Amino acid sequence: MQGADINKNDHAYNRVPASSRASLLNATLVRMGMMTSLSQFMVGATLGHSMTFGQAMLATVLGSLILEIVSLGMGLVGMKEGLCTSLLARWCGFGRIGSVIIGIFIALSLIGWFGVQNSVLADGLLHASQGMLNYPAAAVVSGLIITLLVLYGFSALSWTAKISVPLFFLVVLYILYDIVSGPDVINFFDGQPNGPAMSLSQGATMVAGGCIVGALISPDISRYCKNKNHVLFMITSSIVVGEIIINCMSIIVAHALGTADVVTIMSHSAGWIGLVTVILSAIKVNDVNLYSASLGLATALDGLSRRKWRYRWLTLLLGLTGTMLSVLGIIGHFIDFLIFLGVLFPPIAGIMLVDYYVLRTHRTLLDATRARHTLPDAASTPVIGWSGIVAWLSGSMVGFAFHVGIPSLNSLLAAGLFYWLLAEVKQKLATRCRSDA
């Protein structure tokens, strides 16, 4: 229906019925809002600081193709089944406990992002205080403020999301116009990067890592889509805008200004408006990061321990952890963090896609329960998918160990292949045992 509210997440533990499906515009705007953020600008600026314009754009396209494959494959499953990623994982290779483990890793990755964004926010406060605060103090202050606001559900946070995205776009467009209208614009396309060199495979994996968690949880939004065409348009348009266009803009800006520091870019080019934009954007992103991480971890712990955990205590714990990461300097390892995500998470998607589309392990069960608008019961749900866990670890090791090609793609394909081989071996062993009996 047209008025479906995707953000309310009313169907966290069941299928989204046809009556609650959203319009194409609504679903696309929500997805695009996830893809177009300060985080994505930081990825593009980092590429532009370490690669030529042509190399950075090629890395962007390659990384975006990986995101398109994962997002589209997962998104179509979510649309058909009407289920979110955490539920789908139970019947796509990982079982109940395996899906909980995935939820914990996603929550931890979001806390890593909290630390990165809090570092940017602290840097903004450092500029605004004009020397009254040092960096560790600014990081602690900004981290605690965001944690307390999320902890008590401060309603004023909602307005930051409404104004930070359009304001961010306007400021970036202003900076870009100021750059391209100058006489030296051609030099920005032909010039050499100012930062440490980065290989094409590193750049592509970094691009994939920047949004791989969002690609993995595509079903969380696509389950509200009405048909395959809506999923295709939603996924592709958000990647074109959020990855290719945003990266192109930030690469040019980084080349022109000779830095990847988003606070320096914004404050030096747009003054106080730019600084305020960075602060509001960081608040908006970290509000979502901390809320989603706390909710995901609460659900995961509930699945493991069968008891309810206090949401506020988890929020406080995760907020303090993210704040500590920013104080310890996670922003200095931004590239390593993105490459780590870009290798660790693609195997999960590879396993789920092979299980659903190729092996079809639980397709008959899912089809039958979908027709009844229910979910498979506990008795028919695997406790843990050991083959999925082993394939996940193996695929990740391949991605980290072998640097030929693109590590993100290597880990994705390796995990899918390992999972298929394990399934074949299990089937042959089961057949032999039956014949011996």
Report the pLDDT averaged over residues 357-363.
95
What's the pLDDT score for residue 354?
A: 97
Report the pLDDT averaged over residues 400-423.
93
Determine the Cα–Cα distance for residues 119 and 110; give it in Å rounded to an integer.
14
**Model confidence at 206: pLDDT above 60:** yes
Question: Which stretch of 242-256, 257-271, 354-368 has the lowest confidence by average pLDDT?
Answer: 257-271
Determine the Cα–Cα distance for residues 224 and 80; give it in Å rounded to an integer.
10
Residue 236's pLDDT band, with cuts at 50, 70 and 90, is very high
**Model confidence at 195: pLDDT above 50:** yes
Q: Residue 46: CB partners within 8 Å, gap ≥ 6?
A: 195, 206, 254, 260, 334, 335
Report the pLDDT averaged over residues 334-346.
90
What's the pLDDT score for residue 60?
A: 96
**What φ, ψ does residue 419 adopt, rounded to 5°?**
-65, -40
Which run of H or E residues covers position 140? helix 135-151
Question: Which stretch of 73-77, 342-346, 424-428 has the lowest confidence by average pLDDT?
Answer: 424-428
| 106 neighbors 217 (Cβ within 8 angstroms) | yes
Indicate the pTM of the whole model.
0.85
Report the pLDDT averaged over residues 41-47.
90
Residue 325's pLDDT band, with cuts at 50, 70 and 90, is very high
- The string of pLDDT tens digits covering residues 47-62 is 999 999 999 999 999 9
What's the pLDDT score for residue 387?
A: 96
Residue length of the chain: 437
What's the pLDDT score for residue 229?
A: 96
What's the pLDDT score for residue 235?
A: 95
Q: Residue 373: CB partners within 8 Å, gap ≥ 6?
A: 15, 17
Report CA-CA distances (Å) from 277 to 126, 165, 171, 263, 415: 15, 9, 8, 10, 40
Between 285 and 59, the more confident residue is 59
Report CA-CA distances (Å) from 199 to 21, 53, 240, 398, 420: 43, 13, 23, 18, 31
Residue 18's pLDDT band, with cuts at 50, 70 and 90, is confident
- List the domains of the chain with CATH numbers: 31-333 (1.10.4160.10)
Residue 186's pLDDT band, with cuts at 50, 70 and 90, is low
Determine the Cα–Cα distance for residues 182 and 180; give it in Å rounded to an integer.
5
| 201 neighbors 47 (Cβ within 8 angstroms) | no
Which run of H or E residues covers position 285? helix 262-305
What's the pLDDT score for residue 2?
A: 43
Cβ count within 10 A of residue 174: 14
Between 32 and 91, the more confident residue is 91
**Model confidence at 312: pLDDT above 90:** no
Residue 1's pLDDT band, with cuts at 50, 70 and 90, is very low
Determine the Cα–Cα distance for residues 258 and 192; give it in Å rounded to an integer.
10
Report the pLDDT averaged over residues 210-217.
88
Determine the Cα–Cα distance for residues 92 and 403; give it in Å rounded to an integer.
28
**C-alpha torsion 287→289→291→296, nearest 10:** 180
What's the pLDDT score for residue 147?
A: 87
Report the pLDDT averaged over residues 334-339.
87
| 79 neighbors 223 (Cβ within 8 angstroms) | yes
> What is the end-to-end Cα distance of the chain in Å, rounded?
55
- The string of pLDDT tens digits covering residues 153-166 is 655 556 666 677 78
**Model confidence at 419: pLDDT above 90:** yes
Determine the Cα–Cα distance for residues 38 and 373; give it in Å rounded to an integer.
39
Answer positive or negative: Cα dihedral of 326, 332, 51, 60. negative
Of all residues in the chain, the percent with pLDDT exceeding 70 is 90
Q: Which of 337, 284, 408 lies closest to 36, judged by CA?
A: 284
Amino acid occupying residue 205: T
Question: Which stretch of 5-19, 275-289, 301-315 has the lowest confidence by average pLDDT?
Answer: 5-19
Question: Which stretch of 211-220, 232-241, 264-273 has the lowest confidence by average pLDDT?
Answer: 264-273
**Model confidence at 86: pLDDT above 80:** yes
Report the pLDDT averaged over residues 111-122.
88
DSSP helix/strand/coil, 301:
helix
Report the pLDDT averaged over residues 229-253.
92
Residue 80's pLDDT band, with cuts at 50, 70 and 90, is very high
Answer positive or negative: Cα dihedral of 200, 203, 207, 210. positive
Amino acid occupying residue 253: V
Amino acid occupying residue 315: T
